[in-house]
Structures are given as structure tokens and as C-alpha cells.
Amino acid sequence: MNKRRVVVTGIGAVSPLGNDAETTWTNILAGKSGIGPMTRLNRDEYPAKVAAEVKDFNIEEYVEKKDARKMDRFTHYAIAASMMAVKDAKLEITEEIAPRVGVWIGSGIGGMETFENQYETFLNRGYKRVSPFFVPMMIPDMAAGQVSILLGARGVNSCTVTACATGTNSIGDAFKVIQRGDADVMVTGGSEAPITKMSVAGFCANTALSTNPDPKTASRPFDLNRDGFVIGEGAGIIVLEDLDHAEKRGANIYAEIVGYGSTGDAYHITAPAPGGEGGARAMKMAMGDAGLEPEDIQYINAHGTSTPYNDKYETMAVKEVFGDHAYKLAISSTKSMTGHLLGAAGGVEAIFTIQAIRDGIMPPTINVETPDPECDLDYIANEARKADIKAAMSNSLGFGGHNATIVFKKYE
């Protein structure tokens, strides 16, 4: 079977570093942190004091207020990022092409804020006062559902929920939909709004979050003094397109997506498998799918959460996959600046990987001050670096043992 070639023609993001993809990227390259004191919650009630919050975002720029009130915040972010990505792609979804345009947007935990608010209403005022929109606001597939309605996209419509691997799995699965001929265009990525009482309580209870009160240094992937991730929010959405379809309409092509790997650890509900074994298989699978050798990859956007186990095991996995070349390629964790956007992480990090290829510059990992002897690769410490990038990969690893890797190439 002839695999169709799939390219990226549009990008859109809402992040702690900006409410569009280019502002976010400018701040990433400058090594700016989007992390600040937690303001959505009373931080005195939690050991974690900082978060990577979206700032000055107005959903009414995208949908009417009365409609926005029937949606959770994670859906707001997805809609904004999707509309920006489709506009960036200069894609007009006509009646003719609508059945061949799909949406695949995931969320790790969906409408947690809605759930908490409505449960309080139920406890205080009874079931009759619970919103009739409660269920459709809360369920994680509603970002994909609402985006498809607003765009008029009538093709494949799906949602992946694989914890922190969600965004990358969504993009990989959407890539395969086009590659096998089931759609010509896919609007895909991840969205999350997890800075809520119960989410933060849960992550604090399992000691996953950093308790460093200094917003600037709390997220420090691969640094010896890392102590957990910083919770973040936002959305990252890209437009994937069949190459022939993109060329026919004269679309601008950012990069080509060429490989996808997805594996399970079958090991533990939260801890990664020793040595990053599952992540290593996902990377190998993605490169095999792309028809690339280890030395063809110049840059990896790492999962790099700033937790003790993740960074160590991901480093081990890279060494296992790349051998000697592991010491020649460059790696960064942009979570040092965005925090961890959970189900949206893979979406925004795919965009950073695409922008790195486009601009010939690799984003830094900030806050690498005290090298961890077990994390001894080139993490592009503290300053962005120019490089001609022919091929790059983005990794995501999630609770439940989900591992996902996607590979992008310079379009030729």
C-alpha cells in the first residue's frame, strides 16, 4: 500500500507564554518562564504554590458569551487554538470538502472544573439545580465535538485520553487517518484546564508537583535539584493535510510528519518502566515508521517533566535508542518554561518541534544549573541554539504507562 504523505499546514496555541503560537514561540526562544504564583486557587491550602496559568484569555473573541457559558475552559482553549490553526492554514472548509476534514483532539482529564462546580451545586441545592449542560461540558471528547461543530468539519471525529501522552497520541492517530486515506485534513492536538481544587489536590497527594515556591526555578527538568512538575494549562492544535491536497490549494507547508510510535509499559499506574523501556520502544517504532536511522535525528523535544524518575528514565531510553548518537543530538524540555500541560503538552510541544525545524533554532531547557550525573546528555541548557534541523522527534509519556513519539521532517 502506498502511504500518503502528510504535512503540517497550520498551527494554533493557547499557552502560559502567550495566547497564540508565535508569541509563545518568541518567549520560548527567549528562555522566558510562563510560571507564576498560583492564582486560580488559594495556594495557602496546597504544598504546591506555583502554576503555569493562561493569562488575559478571552473566549468571546472566538464564540459568543451565551455559547461559551455551556463549555468548560478546556473546550475554550481547544476552540481558540483550532480556529487559529485553521486560519493560519488558510483553509476554507466548504460543503464539498467538509466530509473529508476531521477533528482529533484529546484531553487528559476534561472538564474537571465543571465537575467540581456542579458537584458543589448538587450537594448544596439538590439535583434539580445541576446544569443540563453538566455532562456535555465535562466529558473529554467535547473539545473535539465543539470544534467540529464550529468548523463544520464532518470527517473522522475522535478524542484520545492517554493522560500526559494525549496530545501526541492524538496527532499520531490523526496522521494515520490521513495516511491510510480516511481523511484529507485533520485538526488535531490536545487541550487541558487542570488548575482546579481536586486536580491540584490529587497531584499534591501523590507528590508529583514541585513544592519549590519560586516560580522562576520550580520547573527544572534534568537538573539535579528537580522536585516535581509544575501544573500548566492551555491547548496546542495543528492542521495536518494530505500533501496532494495541500499542494493543490497552494498551502504553506511548515514540515512533514513522517513517523509515529505508541507503546504501553504494562508496569505501573504512575511510575515509568525502569530504564524507560516503553518510551524507548515508542521512539524506535516512530523512527521505523519514518524510515529513519538514529543519526538522522538532530533534535528531541523531551517529555522532560522535572520529576526525578521521568527525566532519568527518559535519558536512559534515549541512550538505549540512539547509542553513541545520543551524545551528539540535542534535547530540550520546554516544560521548563510552560510547566506541564498534561493532555495538551504533546500538542504545544509538537508545535515547538515544527517551529524549531522551520526556523533552524532549538529551544532551551531553562534552570539547568546543577548537572545530574544520571542526566548527562546535551539538554540545550539555558540558551536557544541555531541548528539546521532535518528531522526531530517529540516524546510524551503518561500515567497508565502510555508512551507516544512523533517524528517531523523538514519538508522537501
pLDDT at 204 over 90: yes
Q: Which of 314, 300, 305 is nearest to 220 (CA)?
A: 305
Contact 270, 387 (CB under 8 A): no
What DSSP state is assigned to residue 272? P
Q: What is the pTM of this model?
A: 0.98
Burial grade of 269 (CB within 10 A; 0-12, 13-18, 19 or more): exposed
Q: Find out whether 238 and 354 touch, Cβ atoms under 8 Å.
A: yes
**Residue 57 CA to its chain's centroid (Å):** 19
- Rounded distance between C-alpha atoms, residue 165 and residue 154, angstroms: 26
Nearest to 173, CA basis, from 236, 79, 106, 233: 106
- For cell 502510555, what's the residue? 402
* Active-site amino acid positions: 164
- Which pLDDT tens digit goes with each residue over 290-337? 999 999 999 999 999 999 999 999 999 999 999 999 999 999 999 999
Class of domain 260-409: alpha beta
CB 112 within 8 A of CB 130: no
Place of cell 515508542: 282
- Percent share of the chain, pLDDT over 90: 99
Nearest CA-CA partner of 366 in 207, 228, 226: 226
The answer to whether residues 192 and 165 touch, using CB atoms and an 8 Å cutoff, is: no
The partner residues of 195 in beta bridges, in order of sequence, read none
Q: Who contacts 90 (Cβ-Cβ below 8 Å, separation ≥6)?
A: 10, 251, 252
Q: What is the pLDDT of residues 232-276, one digit of tens each?
A: 999 999 999 999 999 999 999 999 999 999 999 999 999 999 999
Write the pLDDT tens digit of every residue in 178-189: 999 999 999 999
Q: Give me the mean pLDDT over the 107-116 stretch.
A: 98
Band of pLDDT at residue 2, cut at 50, 70 and 90:
confident
**Whole-angstrom distance, CA of residue 79 vs CA of residue 85:** 10
Specify the DSSP element, H or E, that contains 402. strand 402-409
Tell me the CB-side half-sphere exposure of residue 368, using CA atoms within 13 A: 26
CATH of domain 7-248: 3.40.47.10
Q: Are strands 185-192 and 234-242 parallel, antiparallel or unpaired?
A: antiparallel
pLDDT at 107 over 90: yes
Q: What pLDDT, on a 0 to 100 scale, did the predictor assign at position 1?
A: 65
Q: For residue 381, which amino acid is it? A: A
Q: Which three cell numbers stand for residue 120?
A: 458543589
Residue 379: its pLDDT value, please?
98
> What residue spans in the chain does CATH classification 3.40.47.10 cover?
7-248, 260-409
Instruction: Using alpha carbons, select from 166, 300, 307 the residue that is nearest to residue 231.
Output: 307
